[in-house]
């Protein structure tokens, strides 16, 4: 049964290779990719259910016993995130034919897409720090391919910045792993955790912890390191933006969550307090960015940043409630960011511009898109009964219990400003004077784009309304994370 | 020996970062190359440097080199090789399409 863990990585990898060979037959590739993604989603769903009932499954590749070989750990947290990312991928693959041009589709879009999914799943599943780096590189390589797709002037200019910052942080990642290896003599996460516990995380290990945080904070766009994010994220096609916004920063947050609950959990006073301050600054600066612009794509891209702040806040407060808030928010944010990027992509497509000042009265022509956008705004801002509310409620409750009043106030104000930044688009873009339909030839395609978005939003609403069904498993994940011994025992089998 | 290697890696990092902060695109690419060399040397150094001992552990062998850093460095070299070649092509295309290789002139505006 343990071989199941490898399937979420291997299946997309095989699909990506097949699509690379037949990339010119656009219609076949398109249909095949859709079938394959749905199939993959079903397989991952099956594995998720299995893990939910029977607990974590661990694959020791090549039958090398745990601390020596390469291991894949499919615990409930990993599988939840893999399932969510596959859900977003499914929506994206159905949206792609409407949004991409024929040339872009033929130019290996689906290959890169599947490689990205393989990399993201691998990063979630691996139980080994060096392999985390390798899977980061797999997903980054695929993202480099996706970000240059289209070959525009601005796009190339932004992608070079994106590649450079990621390359630099990857190199730093390797260096940090080398540091850690010289201190603890292993890269297996469970064994690292065990050894760090034994020496009670002395000074040098805390330094290494901060270096790890620096690396993942660059990927996840935490406060001083977020400046690279918004522009590269809006320059490619909306489908690519949605994949990036939904998956890439979340891999960074997942890594912080994993490493700072499992390995570096001794010197909480220093590291986790730092997280709380950085989380507050991340929220403020992100939302100010979202308010500062009239470009609707940029508003959504900036809205990634406060969400990262919220998730980091849960890790910083470091109680069972707040960590379960982070996990809930992680799942919620993957879905809603995917939906929002697809939505603004559709809006910009039908309006022919992404400048908010040039559009008005779109709801008369596109009522479905309009109301989807309205619901998505409420979900993002955390209005009850939607999923954002549950996540924020848990985070704020965790914050109040630990008497971190400042961060709670910042969080609440930020939520309000997020709502304002989104509703501004709704009021100015969808309401307002009814005008002639801009670009009538795009009407049919624009309306078709609503389907995949509707799918994602349905799940998002379900996650909020059905919180009672999901909360027990989220709570059990959080309990599991707060007791690192469980992870260590399940991997090292002692 | 480790000290000398660590200093060398440090020098590579310094020169790499100096080049990374330049305006010319090609220099930036060279800077990333230097940084990755520094990182690779660093991994090797961190696994302790020994001479005259193969990375093999079997019964009766007392002196051996740690094989893990060598495996890690190999993976890392392959990855950075791939990324550097991609970066070179990307830099070439970018400078050709944008008509400049000066990063100062590649800032961009809100609406494009």
- Which residues, in sequence order, are CB contacts of A394 under 8 Å at separation 6+? A314, A321, A322, A324, A325, A328, A329
Partners of B36 on chain A (C-beta within 8 Å) are 171
Tokens of A248: 């890439």
How far is the C-alpha of B27 from the C-alpha of B16, rounded, in Å?
9
pLDDT of B51 above 80: no
Model pLDDT, residue A260: 93
Nearest-CB residue to B97 (from A130, A156, A293) = A156
- Which residues, in sequence order, are CB contacts of A119 under 8 Å at separation 6+? A135, A136, A137, A138, A139, A140, A141, A142
Tokens of A218: 């660059």
C-beta separation of A356 from A296 below 8 A: yes
Does the beta-carbon distance from B79 to A168 stay under 8 Å? Answer: no
* pLDDT tier, B109 (very low <50, low <70, confident <90, very high otherwise): low
Query: Which residues are paired to B24 by β-bridges?
Result: B102
Axis crossing angle, helix A484-492 with helix A249-262, rounded to the nearest 10? 90
**Main-chain dihedrals φ then ψ at residue A111, nearest 5 degrees:** -60, -50
- pTM for this predicted structure: 0.94
Does the beta-carbon distance from A178 to B35 stay under 8 Å? Answer: no
Partners of A355 on chain B (C-beta within 8 Å) are 111
Digits of tens for pLDDT over chain A (494 positions)?
A: 688 899 999 999 999 999 999 988 889 999 999 999 999 999 999 999 999 998 889 998 888 887 888 899 999 999 999 999 999 999 999 999 988 888 888 889 999 999 999 999 999 999 999 999 999 999 999 999 999 988 788 888 889 999 999 999 999 999 999 999 999 988 999 999 999 988 876 788 999 999 999 999 999 999 889 989 998 999 899 999 999 999 999 999 999 999 999 999 888 888 889 999 999 999 999 999 999 999 999 999 999 999 999 999 999 999 999 999 999 999 999 999 999 999 999 999 998 888 888 888 888 888 899 999 999 999 998 888 888 899 999 999 999 998 889 999 999 999 999 999 999 999 988 887 777 777 788 888 888 888 999 999 999 999 988 888 889 999 999 999 999 999 999 888 75
CB burial readout A79-97, b (16+ within 10 A) else e: bbbbbbbbbbbbbbbbbbb
Give the mutation candidate from B71, B81, B112 for the A interface (greatest A CB count, under 10 A). Answer: B112
Which CATH number does the domain B2-50+66-100 belong to among 1.10.287.3510, 1.20.120.160, 3.30.230.10, 2.60.40.10?
Answer: 1.10.287.3510
The residue of chain B with its CA nearest to that of A141 is: B83
pLDDT (average), residues B35-46:
91
Tokens of A56: 């974590």
pLDDT of B111 above 60: no
Return the DSSP state at A5: G
pLDDT of B65 above 70: yes
The residue of chain A with its CA nearest to that of B37 is: A171
How far is the C-alpha of A173 from the C-alpha of B80, rounded, in Å?
13
Model pLDDT, residue A7: 93
Give the mutation candidate from B31, B37, B76 for the A interface (greatest A CB count, under 10 A). Answer: B76
Closest CA to B66 of A384, A155, A178: A178
Phi-psi region of A150 (alpha: psi -120 to 50; beta: other; left: phi over 0): left
Q: A112: number of CA atoms within 13 Å, CB side?
A: 22
pLDDT tens for A450-481 read 899 999 999 999 998 888 888 999 999 999 99
Q: Quickly count: other Cβ atoms within 10 Å of residue B67's Cβ.
A: 13
Does the beta-carbon distance from A156 to B94 stay under 8 Å? Answer: yes
Closest CA to A354 of A154, A220, A164, A161: A154
Closest CA to A9 of A59, A53, A51, A66: A59
Q: Does B31 touch chain A (CB under 8 A)?
A: no
C-beta separation of A107 from A25 below 8 A: no
Largest Cα–Cα distance in chain B? 70
Does the beta-carbon distance from A178 to B91 stay under 8 Å? Answer: no
CB burial readout A281-301, b (16+ within 10 A) else e: ebbbbbbebbeebbbbbbbbb
Does the beta-carbon distance from A160 to B91 stay under 8 Å? Answer: yes
Domain boundary assignment for chain B: 2-50+66-100
Chain A residues whose C-beta is within 8 A of a chain B C-beta are: 130, 133-134, 137, 141, 144, 148, 151, 153-154, 156-160, 163-164, 167-168, 170-172, 174-175, 177-179, 181-182, 187, 231, 293-295, 298, 353-355
The residue of chain A with its CA nearest to that of B35 is: A171
Q: Quickly count: other Cβ atoms within 10 Å of residue A211's Cβ.
A: 16
Model pLDDT, residue A311: 94
- The mean pLDDT of chain B is 87
Model pLDDT, residue A353: 86
Please give, one letter per residue, the 3-state secondary structure of chain B: CHHHHHHHHHHHHHHHHHHHCCCEHHHHHHHHHHHHHHHHHHHHHHCCCCCCCCCCCCCCCCCCCCHHHHHHHHHHHHHHHHHHHHHHHHHHHHHHHHCCCEHHHCCCCCCC
Does the beta-carbon distance from A182 to B82 stay under 8 Å? Answer: no
Please give, one letter per residue, the 3-state secondary structure of A391-422: HHHHHHHHHHHCCCHHHHHHHHHHHHHHHHHH
Distance from CA of A377 to the nearest CA of B (A): 22
Domain boundary assignment for chain A: 2-492
Does the beta-carbon distance from A156 to B111 stay under 8 Å? Answer: no
How far is the C-alpha of A234 from the C-alpha of A299, rounded, in Å?
10
Does the beta-carbon distance from A160 to B106 stay under 8 Å? Answer: yes
How far is the C-alpha of B42 from the C-alpha of A274, rounded, in Å?
28
Size of interface A-B (CB pairs under 8 A): 100
Q: Does B88 touch chain A (CB under 8 A)?
A: no
- Stated as kind and residue range, the H or E segment containing A274 is helix A268-291
Cα A8 to Cα A138, A435, B36: the distances in Å are 14, 47, 30
Residue with tokens 């850690």: A180
Q: 3-class DSSP state for residue A71?
A: strand
Does the beta-carbon distance from B35 to A177 stay under 8 Å? Answer: no
Does the beta-carbon distance from A151 to B80 stay under 8 Å? Answer: no
Axis crossing angle, helix A249-262 with helix A467-482, rounded to the nearest 10? 50
pLDDT of B110 above 70: no
Q: 3-class DSSP state for residue A472?
A: helix
**Main-chain dihedrals φ then ψ at residue A59, nearest 5 degrees:** -105, 120
Does the beta-carbon distance from B46 to A179 stay under 8 Å? Answer: yes
Partners of B39 on chain A (C-beta within 8 Å) are 171-172, 174-175, 178
How far is the C-alpha of A338 from the C-alpha of A484, rounded, in Å?
31
Distance from CA of A138 to the nearest CA of B (A): 9
């Amino acid at each position: 049964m343990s071989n199941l863990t490898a399937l979420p990585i291997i299946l997309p990898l095989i699909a990506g290779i097949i699509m690379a060979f037949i990339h010119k037959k656009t219609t076949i590739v398109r249909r095949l990719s859709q079938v394959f993604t749905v199939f993959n989603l079903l397989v991952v769903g099956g594995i998720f259910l299995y893990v939910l009932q029977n607990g974590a499954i661990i694959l020791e590749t090549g039958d090398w016993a745990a601390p020596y070989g390469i291991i894949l750990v499919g615990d409930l947290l990993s599988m939840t995130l893999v399932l969510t990312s596959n859900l977003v991928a499914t929506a994206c693959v159905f949206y792609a034919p409407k949004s991409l041009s024929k040339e872009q589709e033929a130019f290996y879009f689906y290959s890169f897409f599947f490689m990205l999914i393989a990399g993201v799943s691998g990063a979630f599943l691996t139980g080994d720090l060096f392999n985390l780096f390798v899977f980061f590189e797999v997903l980054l390589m695929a993202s480099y391919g996706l970000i240059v797709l289209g070959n525009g002037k601005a796009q190339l200019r932004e992608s070079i910045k994106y590649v450079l910052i990621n390359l630099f942080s990857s190199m730093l990642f390797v260096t940090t792993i080398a540091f850690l290896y010289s201190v603890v003599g292993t890269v297996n996460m469970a064994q690292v955790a065990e050894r760090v516990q034994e020496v009670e995380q002395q000074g040098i290990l805390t330094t290494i912890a901060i270096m790890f945080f620096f690396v993942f904070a660059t990927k996840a766009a935490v406060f001083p390191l977020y400046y690279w994010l918004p522009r590269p994220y809006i320059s490619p096609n909306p489908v690519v933006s949605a994949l990036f916004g939904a998956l890439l920063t979340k891999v960074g947050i997942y890594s912080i969550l994993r490493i700072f609950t499992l390995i570096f959990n001794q010197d909480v006073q220093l590291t986790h307090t730092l997280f709380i301050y950085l989380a507050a600054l991340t929220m403020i600066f992100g939302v100010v960015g979202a308010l500062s612009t009239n470009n609707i794509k940029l508003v959504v891209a900036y809205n990634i940043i406060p969400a990262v702040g919220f998730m980091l806040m849960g890790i910083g407060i470091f109680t069972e409630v707040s960590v379960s808030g982070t996990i809930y928010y992680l799942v919620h944010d993957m879905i809603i960011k995917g939906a929002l990027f697809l939505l603004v992509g559709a809006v910009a497509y039908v309006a022919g511009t992404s400048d908010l000042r040039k559009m008005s009265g779109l709801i008369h022509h596109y009522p479905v898109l309009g109301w989807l956008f309205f619901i998505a705004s409420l979900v993002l801002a955390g209005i009850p009964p939607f999923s954002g509310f549950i996540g924020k409620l848990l985070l704020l409750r965790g914050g109040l219990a630990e008497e971190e009043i400042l961060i709670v106030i910042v969080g609440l104000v930020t939520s309000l400003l997020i709502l304002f930044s989104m509703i501004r688009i709704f009021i100015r873009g969808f309401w307002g004077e009814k005008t002639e339909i801009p670009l009538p030839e795009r009407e049919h395609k624009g309306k078709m784009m609503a389907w995949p978005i509707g799918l994602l939003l349905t799940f998002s609403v379900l996650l909020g309304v059905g919180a009672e069904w999901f909360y027990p498993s989220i709570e059990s994940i959080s309990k599991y994370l707060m007791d690192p011994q469980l992870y260590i025992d399940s991997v090292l089998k002692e | 020996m480790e000290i000398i290697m660590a200093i060398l890696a440090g020098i590579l990092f310094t020169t790499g970062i100096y080049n990374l902060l330049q305006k010319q695109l090609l220099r930036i690419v060279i800077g990333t190359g230097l940084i990755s060399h520094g990182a690779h040397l660093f991994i090797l150094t961190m696994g302790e440097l020994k001479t005259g001992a193969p990375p093999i552990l079997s019964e009766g062998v007392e002196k051996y080199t740690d094989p893990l850093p060598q495996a890690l460095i190999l993976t890392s070299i392959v990855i950075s090789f791939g990324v550097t070649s991609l970066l070179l092509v990307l830099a070439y295309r970018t400078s050709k399409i944008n008509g400049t290789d000066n990063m100062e002139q590649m800032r961009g505006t809100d609406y494009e």
